[in-house]
Amino acid sequence: MFLTVAVAVTTSAKHDSFSHELLFSTELGISQQDEKLTHLHFFFHDIVSGTNQTAVRVAAAPSSETSPTGFGSVVMMDDPLTETADRSSKIVGRAQGMYGSASQSELGLLMVMSFAFTEGEYNGSSLSVLGRNTVESAVREMPIVGGSGVFRFCRGYAQAKTHSIDEMVAVVEYDVYVFHY
């Protein structure tokens, strides 16, 4: 799907020595008419214990152990992203980053991660997520704040739905919608 987006480029009378305005199409080599909306669908496997652990707690406040929400704990992750909910299905990328328990009243996480893709036309490209994830909600929405590779200049959102969860693994279904060039 191709969308036309109007971008206003203004000329300023004053420029600093370290910056200048660019003309969108001539200096960046892309046209507003080239903007696409892409839908990505994959599953995130957050393995918190066992021999193939992909998420590790790296910090905690003294009160995290007694908090009903784990408030103050921080986890680093390098989680596989797969085509289906089956852990043995094709890996299409990794979710790399961290999440922290940021709410004292509900299971609310601050997610800071990159979806680093390793397959197909998005191989070598990534999307950056920064937002709140209320884990017990049926559907959570988090902003896509940027990207790299084919996702340079992107913007969009990710919807997360818990597919399954047990004491070792949380499997989360992601539907991601991004505008990019």
Q: What is the CATH number of the domain that holds 92?
A: 2.40.480.10
- Whether 122 is in a domain gets the answer yes
Per-residue pLDDT tens listing for the chain (181 residues): 333 344 444 444 455 678 777 666 666 677 777 889 999 999 999 999 998 999 999 999 999 999 999 999 999 999 999 999 999 999 999 999 999 999 999 999 999 999 999 999 999 999 999 999 999 999 999 999 999 999 999 999 999 999 999 999 999 999 999 999 8
Per-residue pLDDT, 71: 97
- Whether 3 is in a domain gets the answer no
Q: What is the pTM of this model?
A: 0.85
CB half-sphere exposure, 123, CA atoms < 13 A: 5
- Whether 140 is in a domain gets the answer yes
- Whether 23 is in a domain gets the answer no
- CA separation (Å) from 154 to 5, 89, 127, 144? 13, 28, 8, 8
- Whether 11 is in a domain gets the answer no
- Specify the number of domains making up the chain: 1
Per-residue pLDDT, 32: 73
Q: List the domain range (segments joined by +) for residue 102.
A: 34-180
- Whether 59 is in a domain gets the answer yes
For 134, phi then psi, to 5°, come to -85, 95
Q: Residues 81-113: pLDDT tens digits?
A: 999 999 999 999 999 999 999 999 999 999 999
Per-residue pLDDT, 18: 81
- Whether 93 is in a domain gets the answer yes
Residue 32's SS3 state is helix
Is 25 exposed, middle or buried, given 0-12, 13-18 or 19+ CB atoms closer than 10 A?
Answer: middle
- Whether 26 is in a domain gets the answer no
